[in-house]
Amino acid sequence: MIKRIAIFASGRGSNAEALVMAMRAGEIHGTPVVILSDQAGALVLEKAQQWKIPTLLVERSDYKTKEAFEEAMLDALKPYMPDTIVLAGYMRLLGKTFISAYEGRILNIHPALLPSFTGLHAQRQAVEAGVKVSGCTVHFVDTGMDSGPIIMQTAVPVYADDTEDSLAERILPKEHATYKKALALYCDNKLHVNGHIVSIDE
């Protein structure tokens, strides 16, 4: 069965674009039903119009509490009946109010090899730590910071002269490829979570 996917993004939407194109090419058995952003000027909202995908703008500043903000997101999503939430450069930490409604059905991509370098500026953290290998991780979302069960990881080398930007540029195409693979497996019901371990059907 084709899964109904809601994509959350805060910026330019390069991961969102990779996933949308893969779904439309039949590489992923999902369909993008809505794109939600928390930023009015997010480029991803313009791209969504070109892709003819409905958009939602839900800004944190419009709500007194995080709970009210997340309830508003849940209400806004209801007409689209998503099976799954895919975070593609969504720069807010989701809380219990939202996660409990979609538990086990929220995926995220992070530009580091978790559990190392959680949070913002992961590429800068990797460069400053002097690691020789970094990469990206697709994981299920829980209420912690980039702490949910890991689905898939891809490594890239870190060079002595790397900057945050050069490392980010090297990781980005791996993000696109890894996220597409992970979401395809998810949509085919090939991922199984036991505690903190994700097993994949061959």
**Domain of 75: which CATH number?**
3.40.50.170
Domain count, the chain: 2
Q: Does residue 118 share a domain with residue 21? A: no
Three-state secondary-structure class, residue 53: coil
Q: What is the pLDDT of residue 202?
A: 80
Task: List, by residue number, the catalytic residues.
Answer: 110
Kindly report the pTM of this predicted structure.
Answer: 0.96
Q: Which of 106, 87, 86 is nearest to 96 (CA)?
A: 106
Domain of residue 97, residue span: 1-103
Select from 84, 103, 122 the last residue of a domain.
Answer: 103
Select from 42, 77, 103 the last residue of a domain.
Answer: 103
Q: Does residue 99 share a domain with residue 1? A: yes
Q: Does residue 113 share a domain with residue 90? A: no
- HSE, side-chain direction, 13 A CA sphere, residue 163: 2
Q: What is the pLDDT of residue 99?
A: 97
Q: Does residue 134 share a domain with residue 80? A: no
Alpha helices by DSSP H, listed for the chain, are 14-24, 43-50, 66-77, 96-99, 122-129, 164-187
Q: Does residue 148 share a domain with residue 90? A: no
Instruction: State which residues of the chain have pLDDT below 50.
Output: none
Select from 53, 87, 103 the last residue of a domain.
Answer: 103
Do you know the residue count of the chain?
Answer: 202
